[in-house]
Structures are given as structure tokens and as C-alpha cells.
Structure 1
Amino acid sequence: MYLKNINLYTFRNYYKQSVSLQSQKTILLGNNAQGKSNLLEAIELLATLKSHRTRRDQDLISEGEKSSQIIANIERIYGQSELSITFRSSGKRTLMLNHERLHRHLDFLGHINAVEFSCLDLDLVRGSPEIRRTWLDTLLIQLEPIYAHIINQYHKILKQRNSFLKIIRGQFNDQKDSDDLLGAVSQLQLWDEQLSETGTRITRRRNRVIQRLVPLAQRWHKSISGKAELLEINYLSNINIKNEDHQTIQQRFLEKIEQCSAVERNHATTVVGPHRDDVEFNINKKQAKFYSSQGQQRTLVLAIKLAELQLIEDVIGEPPLLLLDDVLAELDHNRQRQLLEVIQGRFQTLITTTHLPNFDTEWLKSSQIIKVEGGKVFQF
């Protein structure tokens, strides 16, 4: 998999910029706030249709403009393709593949795969459960593009069910007659069925991908830490998922909803489901979030990112792109060496940095160096 070029039009701080990638390794050099991360964000959007920096398309559009566009050419084993995303301030997007408009996200996803590693990824360990759920969902979208449809469907059902819980709470508070309440509860049961069905599909996929990721991450973690520490990764579901059977898990889902019905009615919000799940990282049987040093947390995240690269390559049959956003400065010499040794010429890699001395001479000789300044790029 090779990203040949990317063109940005009124995207973030780029007005009109074409970037041709001529080497397996590209170093984006520049001071902070010049647009280096914006370029990586554009590639992330091509791979996942999501940005880890914002949920609003308006933020992706240059100030004073009504739309922005990303166009890229990708070379794969099976041939070449051109991808295009147009963002509008209204939130409506246009997706194009080889100049043909696509009406489903599913048809766009999977044409380019990328793993991003930034200094913000320490939040994967010490941040909120939502950050870990988003990380897991982003990985699954790349491994299985249909997952994007499943997770979007779940959140639509969740939103509708929460709205209905508010209606029921209002009826209880207003002391409506029993027939009205019975009718409302009966309708809620229909949402319960949909939530449990879609939620089970999400939970099983998340748990399976964690199980596939764990041995890869453990292998990398042992290598980086000198085999001195034991890494464990657990998917924490609020439903018992020991039995992988779909029907059994869905039934447990419905039983848990029934158990929490009074709480949900009082708070008018859904408290059961994968939107409340978490991922736990342990080092030597202790939670890394609370008991690990910053160095241990960096090692853990690096091991996870290397495992992601390997898992995506195993599944899709090609190495994905690796995007390193100002991360080398955050790693000590040993971790830098481990990371650069793994990359070599195996993955097309884009690295942002403010200083070239972070790289050894051989790396600089074999890399394309691009200077980024004020939303414009120059060959260094």
C-alpha cells in the first residue's frame, strides 16, 4: 500500500496544496502550528472517515470558506485508485472513488489503511473510557468496514431509546393512567430488542479484536521492556460475554436491561450496552492507569501501536501506512530505536518533527524531507 500524493483544498490551514510522496519514509519538518498534524489528519480521514481531533466538519474547513476537499491517489496490490472527500459547513459530505460518487461509507472505507501514533496517545492509558472505545472502534472500522455501519446504527438506536426513556419518565412523573404507561413500556421493549441485537454485534467484535491484539502487543511489549514486565489487556463489558454465542449474549443483554430498568427510568438514559464498556491495561497485574510510570505507559502504547500495524497487515494482506505525529521526541533512545528498526522499509511512514537531530544519518539519507510552514510545503 502506497500513498502517492494528497491534495488539500481549503482544508484547515491549507488553501491549495499538493503533496507528492516520493519515498517510503517522509519527514514533515516545521515549527508547531504550521500544518504538519493537519496533513496527517487528512490521511486519517481517508482511512477511517473520522478525526481524533474533532467531530465537527466545520473545523476541517478553512476560515471564511464553505467547504474543503481532500483528494489522494493510492497504489495497492490490486491496482490504483483515487479517493476524494468533500466537507461542507452544513455537515454533509461527498465521497468519491475514481471520480464516481459513493452513497455508502462502506464502499469508501478499506481503500487506504493507516495507524496513527501521537503524543496524545498516552491518553489511551490514562484518559477516559470513551477514548479507549473510540480507539477500538477506529481499529475495527479498518479491519472490517461494515463495523462503521453497525456502530452508527447502534448510536441511532441509543439516541431514540434515550428519547423514549425521557417520555416514560415524564409519564411517571405526571402520573399518567396505567394504559398509557403499559403502552409506553411495550414500545420501549421494541427498542430493547434492537439495542441488544446491535449492541451484541459490537460487543462480540470488540472482544474478539482484543483477543487477537493481545498476543501481538505482549510480544512487542516484552521486546521493548526487556522481558521485565507482563502486559495484560482486558475488554470490560457490562454484560457477561464469556460465552461467545450471539443469542446467549443478547439474552444476557436483555436481562441486564431488565435489572436496570428502574435506574434507567429515573435517569432517563440507557446504562447498559457497549457505550458504557471500557478496556483495561495491566502491567504486572496492576492497572497501568494508576500504578505505571510515564515511561511504562509510553512502552505500553508503543507496543499497542506496533500490534495494530501487524494485525492490520495480517488481515488485509498489505502493510498499512504509519503516521507518527511528533512522537519521537516523547520516546527515549531505546524506544526510538525499537520503533525505527521496526519501520525500516516495511511501512510507508510519515513523521512530523520540529528537529531533524531526532533521526540518525541513515534515516535522513533514505527519507524525503518536506518543510511545512504556514500551510505550505517545500522540499527541504
Structure 2
Amino acid sequence: MYVRQLELRDFRSWPKLELGLERGVNLIVGRNGFGKTNIVEAVGYLAHLSSHRVNHDAPLVRAGAADARISVTTVNQGRELTSHLLIKPHAANLAQINRTRLKTPRELLGITHSVLFAPEDLSLVRGEPAERRRYLDDLIAARTPRLAGVKAEYDKVLKQRGALLKNASQTLRRGYSDDDGASALATLDVWDSQLAALGAQVTSARLELLADLEKYVVDAYSAIAPESRPAKVTYHSTVEKTVNSLVGDDEPVTTEILEAAILADLGKVRQREIERGTSLVGPHRDDLILHLGQQPAKGFASHGETWSYAISLRLAEFNLLRDSAGSDPVLILDDVFAELDAERRRRLVEVAAAAEQVIITAAVDEDLPENLGGTVVQRFSVVTEDTENGRISRIADGR
């Protein structure tokens, strides 16, 4: 797969951009703050319906504009499709493929596959569990777009259940001896049932993904850091102990078992949840545990090992999507070479050179590894221009 054309309107610092891209390595160079990362962020946003830099849409719309638009034309095994996304910071986003309006932007998932590696990826190793859960969920959505809807429904139920626990805490504490308390507890029972059913599907999808992903992570880390301790990934669930009590050593963990375990544990912690006003059980509290040898990478990995692990997770994502879809995702390397030592730069370029299309951003040529050399098929230079409406980005004449 490769992106043939990218068009932006009022996306971050770009009032307008029309960029033709080619197979092979496309290089975008510009000083920090000039807007080069905004270009690759747009491709990643269309692929995953989320940004690697912010958690909500408002910053994506250029100051003073009502909305922003991303259009990406991809070619996948000879088939060309153009995806359009209208980003509205205070209303629902709108999407279409070619000239067909879609019911929901989630229908864009699976059209553009991209894997983006950025300096922010260090948080996959050093950061909070939410970063690793998002890594898993984005990859699940890329492989099986239908499951993105399941995760979205789970998040809605979790939010409404949390609102009940927080706002009706005093009523819930009265219990069944009070009519209002009994009614509130009955409502909580309904939310428990929905949370367990949807949460079981989310957890099952993560476990299935990890079973496929683990060998890719192990192989990628071994190739990047052969002198280091071996990598290993495991999934920690809030219902792990209960699940283990329900299945034998060789029995598969089914969605039904996960649902029963979540319901059972919700019952055990109900009083604590009412007292604390928050949901304590479910995949929203799970974690992907990254190991190096016998120790967790978080807190025990050196700086170099942390970078190697972050790269390995993205390369594992790339190779899994390649094997699953039968074509290469677009590989995006956003300003990462400046952070890597010479050996890791060389190894990353070796991997990138084999991809159908790579988009690389860099602040200066000195950040680029020597073996990138003649692999670049196209180069763009990003500059800024001061206007009466503020500073904007543009592609320099002559590139």
C-alpha cells in the first residue's frame, strides 16, 4: 500500500496542502515547529481516527477555522480509493470514500494502513498503562475494524456507569431497603451486564492479538538489540485470578468465561466502587506488561533498551499488519533518527528500505543516517510564512 496524494485544508498550521507522494522513501525536512509533523499526523489520523500527539480534535483545526479536512488517496494492490474526513471540533466528524458519504468515520478504518514511529513512543515503555492499551486497541481496529465499534460502545457504557457511581453514591449506599436505592442498584445491575459483555469482547480481542503479536515483538527486539536481554510481552487483566479459577491449565479462555469473570469480580468490588465512585474492574484497567529477561522493562530498562523496545513494538505492528493484510502499511518515521545512536539508525533504515512506502521527517540533514543515501525518491522542504492570520506552513519552492 502507498499514499499517492495527500490534501489538507485548515489542518493545524496548513491552510492548504496538496502533496503527491511516491513509492519508496519520501523525505520531509523542516525545522522544529515548521509543520512537518503535522503532515504525517494527518495520515496517521485518517488511518487510526486518533492522533499520536493529542487526545481530542480541537487542536487539529487551524486557529480561526471552523473545521479541517484530510483527504488521502491510497493505492493498494492496484485498487485506488480516496478517503475524506471532515474534522469538526464541536460536532461529529464526517467521512466519505470517493463520493460516498459514510454513516460513521469508523468505516474509514482499514482503508489506509499506516504505522507511525515517533519520539512519543517512548511512553509505550515508560508511560502509563493507558498508552499500551491504546497501542493494542489501535492495532486491533486496524486488523478488525468492527471491533473498534465494540471498544467505542464499551467506553460509552463505562462512562455512564461511572457517572452513576459518582453522582448517585449516597443513593446507592442506601441499598435495597430504600426505593430510590433499590432503583439505583437495579440500574447498576444493567450497566454491570453491559460492561461485562462488551469488556469480555475487548479483552478477548486483546488476548488474541497478543498471541499473534508476541513473536513479532521478540524477533524485532532480538534483531535491533541482539546483545540485550530477551524481550517478552504478557497481558495483565483485572480478572486474571478469577479467570484462572474458572479454566484448567490447557483450556482456552473464551469470551463467555471472560464475561462471567468480569461479572463475578464486579460483584466482589461493588461496595468499594460505590464508595470510591469509579469502575474498578474491566479492560480499562488492564495493562500490557513488557519484560526484559525476568524484569519489567518499565523502571529497569536503560535508555538504549527503552528505545529498542519502542522501535520493536512499532516494527512488530508493521510486520503483523503486512502479514495479515498481504500488503505493506505505510511506514512513517517522524523525527526519530536524531534520538537514535548510529547502529539503531542503520538497522531502522534496513527495515524501512524494504517497505513499499516510507515517509520520513527530519529537522536537518545531519539527523539522517548515512545508509539512507540514495534510497530517497522524493524530498520536500517545509517552511513557514507570516500572514495577517498568523504563521502558516507551506512547501518551499523547488522543494
TM-score bracket for the superposition, by shorter chain length: over 0.9
Between the two proteins, what is the percent identity of the paired residues? Answer: 28
The corresponding residue for 1:290 is 299
The corresponding residue for 1:324 is 333
Q: Deviations over 1:147-199 (max 9, x none)?
A: 21011100110111112223441215679952332232122111111000000
- Contact 1:132/1:278 (CA < 8 Å) preserved in 2? yes
Q: How far does residue 56 in structure 1 lie from its aligned partner after superposition?
A: 2.5
* Cα distance change on mapping 1:160 and 1:362 into 2, 3 Å: closer
- Contact 2:172/2:185 (CA < 8 Å) preserved in 1? no
CA distance in 1, matches of 2:342, 2:310: 16
- Contact 1:115/1:321 (CA < 8 Å) preserved in 2? yes
- Contact 2:333/2:361 (CA < 8 Å) preserved in 1? yes
Q: Deviations over 1:312-344 (max 9, x none)?
A: 011111100111111011111111111111121
Matched, 1:128 2:128: yes
Q: Spell out the pairing of 1:265-276 with structure 2 (5 A cutoff).
A: 265-276=274-285
- Contact 1:164/1:188 (CA < 8 Å) preserved in 2? yes
* Cα distance change on mapping 1:48 and 1:291 into 2, 3 Å: same
- Answer with 249-258 or 21-30: which moved more: 21-30
The corresponding residue for 2:116 is 116
Amino acid at match of 1:255: A
CA distance in 2, matches of 1:61, 1:18: 17
- Contact 1:58/1:91 (CA < 8 Å) preserved in 2? no
The corresponding residue for 1:355 is 364
What stretches of structure 2 of length at least 5 have no aligned partner?
245-251, 385-392
User: Of the candidates 354, 360, 381, which is equivalent to residue 371 of structure 1?
Assistant: 381
Q: How far does residue 90 in structure 1 lie from its aligned partner after superposition?
A: 1.7
- Answer with 225-234 or 40-49: which moved more: 225-234
- Contact 1:221/1:227 (CA < 8 Å) preserved in 2? no
- Answer with 124-133 or 86-95: which moved more: 86-95
Amino acid at match of 1:265: I
Q: Deviations over 1:54-77 (max 9, x none)?
A: 233221111111111111211111
CA distance in 2, matches of 1:226, 1:91: 49
Q: How far does residue 89 in structure 1 lie from its aligned partner after superposition?
A: 3.2
Amino acid at match of 2:52: H
- Contact 1:125/1:281 (CA < 8 Å) preserved in 2? yes
* Cα distance change on mapping 1:359 and 1:227 into 2, 3 Å: closer
Give 3-state SS (helix, strand or coil) of 1:71's partner: strand
CA distance in 2, matches of 1:148, 1:279: 18
Please give the root-mean-square deviation of Cα atoms over the aligned residues, in Å: 1.8
Give 3-state SS (helix, strand or coil) of 2:289's partner: strand
* Cα distance change on mapping 1:309 and 1:177 into 2, 3 Å: same
- Give the TM-score normalised by structure 1: 0.95
The corresponding residue for 2:324 is 315
- Contact 2:353/2:375 (CA < 8 Å) preserved in 1? no
- Give the TM-score normalised by structure 2: 0.91
Matched, 1:334 2:343: yes
Q: Deviations over 1:174-231 (max 9, x none)?
A: 7995233223212211111100000000011112212211111111211222254211
Q: How far does residue 247 in structure 1 lie from its aligned partner after superposition?
A: 1.3
Q: Spell out the pairing of 1:184-333 with structure 2 (5 A cutoff).
A: 184-226=184-226, 228-240=228-240, 241=243, 243-333=252-342
* Cα distance change on mapping 1:218 and 1:365 into 2, 3 Å: closer
* Cα distance change on mapping 1:362 and 1:201 into 2, 3 Å: closer
Q: Spell out the pairing of 1:172-183 with structure 2 (5 A cutoff).
A: 172=172, 177-183=177-183
- Answer with 46-55 or 113-122: which moved more: 46-55
CA distance in 1, matches of 2:174, 2:204: 40
The corresponding residue for 1:153 is 153
- Contact 1:56/1:91 (CA < 8 Å) preserved in 2? no
- Contact 2:132/2:287 (CA < 8 Å) preserved in 1? yes
Give 3-state SS (helix, strand or coil) of 1:289's partner: coil
* Cα distance change on mapping 1:82 and 1:50 into 2, 3 Å: same
- Contact 1:114/1:321 (CA < 8 Å) preserved in 2? yes
- Contact 1:238/1:272 (CA < 8 Å) preserved in 2? yes
Give 3-state SS (helix, strand or coil) of 1:311's partner: helix
Q: How far does residue 6 in structure 1 lie from its aligned partner after superposition?
A: 0.4
What stretches of structure 1 of length at least 5 have no aligned partner?
none
Q: Deviations over 1:233-278 (max 9, x none)?
A: 1111101255411111111111100110111010111110011111
Q: Spell out the pairing of 1:158-169 with structure 2 (5 A cutoff).
A: 158-169=158-169
